[in-house]
């Protein structure tokens, strides 16, 4: 299912020039957390480190007005399905050609501020021999990286899941920064039909907080993404209550882990009824509930929100985003919107694919 995202809370502060992204390949020292000794309920925690200013600039750049995020973080297996649908084998050469098509689209940087990459892509070169990361930076697109290791069953829960990938994350994020990545993505999910249980909500929030702290310590802006799944026949009010609980837990644990809010981005689900709910919500209702959630749960220090369509159709997501548009809302396109238009890698169809990618990004 295609998805859409959007940048909402924008800042007018200066953003990073593309020359600031790659300043050499030496890994800098991780940030240092300095805790003041508890002196009472009002004691403060001070966070300092060499990446603090860069994290703020990166977050503002990705959330810059008029642009959005291109999600091209499909695994090799998923990429193979894309290739199979156009009659191509899942080889490294074909994956390279497919990703080259995406990152070399002329003018893409006018509409796309960041690109989420799969690990293979981060280390891959284009068919012309240039590093994918360098091609993105030349278009003023910030390279990002998916760092979670997927969902697995959560023992002791109501058939719910948790997201793995914290083991070794510090060394991986340090290496990703050295390779040119400047932000990270970690996706976990919450299922309403199965509760959600207090255990599942806490596990999701804690995992996101630990990931965010580790990412920031190694120079990457964390995108915080607790997706509330559309499965179920519950109404929009139930989704709203669950979303409030989830985001309250997320920000509680982000604070517990000394995450700097100015150096994160959010990727929330819109507040909608369950997919099987008989009472459908209008775009105006979705906008009302979603914006109310943001006002009640999201601190103003957060520089940007990239909306997740969460299983909605392209039309539904676009209408809902349009209803939320307050003059600073821009949707970005996933490349899967147009994958069916490219047939067998033929030159004519490649040109059509590039044109359509730019059209989708500009339209959003």
Catalytic residues: 225, 267
Peptide bond into 281 cis (omega under 30): no
How does DSSP assign 13-59, residue by residue?
S----GGGT-S-SPPPPPPEEEEPPP-STT--EEEE-TTHHHHHHHH
**Of 160, 172, 166, whose CA–CA distance to 227 is shortest?**
160
Backbone angles phi, psi at 33, to 5 degrees: -95, 125
What are 266's two structure tokens?
Answer: 């959010």
Residue 175 CA: distances (Å) to CA of 49, 170, 211, 220, 267: 18, 9, 15, 11, 24
How does DSSP assign 190-205, residue by residue?
E-STT---HHHHHHHH
CA atoms within 13 A on the CB side of 309: 24
β-pair partners for 46? 34
What are 162's two structure tokens?
Answer: 């948790």
Could you say which DSSP state residue 117 is in?
Answer: E
SS3 184: strand
Identify the H or E element spanning 359: helix 347-363
SS3 279: coil
What are 279's two structure tokens?
Answer: 């009472």
Tell me the pairing of strands 112-117 and 4-7: unpaired
Q: CA–CA separation, 339 vs 262, rounded Å?
A: 35
**Of 283, 280, 251, whose CA–CA distance to 264 is shortest?**
251
Buried-state track 105-137, b at ≥16 Cβ within 10 A, e below 16:
beebbebbbbbbbbbebbebebeeeebbbebbb
């Amino acid at each position: 299912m295609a998805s859409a995202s959007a940048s909402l809370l924008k800042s007018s502060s200066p953003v990073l020039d593309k020359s600031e992204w790659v300043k050499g390949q030496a890994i800098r020292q991780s940030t240092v957390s300095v805790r003041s000794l508890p002196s009472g309920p009002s004691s403060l925690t001070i966070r300092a480190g060499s990446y603090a200013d860069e994290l703020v600039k990166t977050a503002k750049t990705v959330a810059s007005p008029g642009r959005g995020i291109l999600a091209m973080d499909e695994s090799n297996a998923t990429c193979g399905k894309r290739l199979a649908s156009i009659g191509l084998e899942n080889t490294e050469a074909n994956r390279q050609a497919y990703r080259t098509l995406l990152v070399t689209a002329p003018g893409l940087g006018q509409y796309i501020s960041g690109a989420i990459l799969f690990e293979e892509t981060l280390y891959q070169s284009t068919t012309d021999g240039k590093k994918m990361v360098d091609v993105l930076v030349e278009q003023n697109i910030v390279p990002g990286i998916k760092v979670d290791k997927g969902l697995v069953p959560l023992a002791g829960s109501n058939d719910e899941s948790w997201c793995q990938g914290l083991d070794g994350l510090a060394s991986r994020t340090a290496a990703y920064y050295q390779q040119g990545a400047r932000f990270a993505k970690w996706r976990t999910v919450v299922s309403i039909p199965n509760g959600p249980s207090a255990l599942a909500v806490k596990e999701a929030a804690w995992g996101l907080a630990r990931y965010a702290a580790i990412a920031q310590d190694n120079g990457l802006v964390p995108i915080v993404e607790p997706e509330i799944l559309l499965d179920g026949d519950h109404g929009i009010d139930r989704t709203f209550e669950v979303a409030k609980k989830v985001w309250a837990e997320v920000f509680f644990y982000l604070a517990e882990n000394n995450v700097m809010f100015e150096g994160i981005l959010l990727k929330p689900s819109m507040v909608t009824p369950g997919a099987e709910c008989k009472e459908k919500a209008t775009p105006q209702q979705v906008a009302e509930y979603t914006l109310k959630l943001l006002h009640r749960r999201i601190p103003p220090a957060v520089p940007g929100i990239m909306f997740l369509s969460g299983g909605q159709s392209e039309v539904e997501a676009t209408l809902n985003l349009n209803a939320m548009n307050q003059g600073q809302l821009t949707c970005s396109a996933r490349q899967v919107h147009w994958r069916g238009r490219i047939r067998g890698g033929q030159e004519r169809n490649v040109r059509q694919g590039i044109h359509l990618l730019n059209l989708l990004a500009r339209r959003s």
